[in-house]
Amino acid sequence: MRTKGGQSVAASGQFACTNLRRFLDCMTPVVPTRCLPKATFKNPNRLWQPWEGDDIEYFTLGDLWNTYSEWSAYGAGTQVVLDNEETVFQYYVPYLSAIQIYIDWSSVEDSCSDEGDTGNIWMVKGMDYLSGKKNGSFWHGKEKLGFLYFQYFETASPYGRIPLVDKINAFSRSHPGLKSLKSVDVLPASWMAVSWYPIYHIPSNRTVRDLSTCFLTYHTLSSSFQEKEADDPMRKVEDSERMMPLPPFGLATYKMQGRVWNDPESTDQEHIISMLSAAASWLKQLGVQHHDFNYFMGLRQYS
């Protein structure tokens, strides 16, 4: 878990703070949240029973993208301890690799009508309602995925991509919900993948093969998967400024060699395999082909 100042601490006392764990920790967005009175919440997803208590904690997608602003402009840095015990800071730029946002259209319309602001009901061309007949269209066997409000799969070369926030800003001109939707508005099948490509390291007088490793992190976007943890220190900043980390549930790597990212004296290997399996399972359930995932899987190497 990260502090507000960006310092990295161990995600759990039972895990060693390896380079991999530090990377996952540093690249985890921490989003400011708000509270919604449960009495006013209309739950479009029968699989999700809101937490106990009077309020439901949520974040807006706009606030999520804001956490990537500085990273998109300057890179996100993570501490890396090399084999000779030398320490460098490796910087990565985040790119939007893939995203799918499913919503219950009627609930969003009701919400806008209740607020008296029908101008926020977006007119979406080509709205795709999945009928449940093919391509993994049922969620957990019974629940439909919902309306596919927006989806994007990046296929360009890494050198031809623009950073994540710039990409979102461009898409939001035609799909304003990318910034205004709340995590309680999007359905459980909503997700995104972020590709992280290295740009430089400090000090820069070393050429280290392992520092060319690229990563894909997978994140869910729905409140259905955001657990309420009363003892989470990130949620105890101030009542007026509560924060929620959105750690990746899945991971894929490219050009991973040597010991830098896969410490043999730790559980790194098991963790990589577990997160890779989770990503593959997620994509299979949704019936989608993720270009970057397929590319990473075809070329990644372990020593």
pLDDT tens by residue, 18-39: 999 999 999 999 999 988 766 6
Contacts of 184 (CB under 8 A, 6+ apart): 36, 41, 56, 58, 222, 223
CB 226 within 8 Å of CB 246: yes
Instruction: Please state whether beta strands 55-58 and 138-139 pair in parallel, antiparallel, or not at all (unpaired).
Output: unpaired
For 21, 59, 113, 276, 281, the CA distances from 100, given in Å and listed in that order, are 27, 17, 25, 19, 16
pTM of the model: 0.79
Can you tell me the distance from the alpha carbon of 201 to that of 158, in angstroms, rounded to the nearest whole number?
18
CA distance 92 to 75: 5
Domain boundaries, the chain: 19-299
pLDDT at 174: 95
Question: How confident is the model at residue 242, as a pLDDT?
Answer: 86
Report the chain's mean pLDDT, rounded to a whole number. Answer: 77
Tell me: the pLDDT tens digits for 210-229? Answer: 788 999 999 999 877 665 44
- pLDDT computed for residue 176 by the predictor: 96
Instruction: Look at residue 216 in the predicted model and tell me its pLDDT.
Output: 97
Phi, psi dihedrals of residue 281, rounded to the nearest 5°: -65, -40
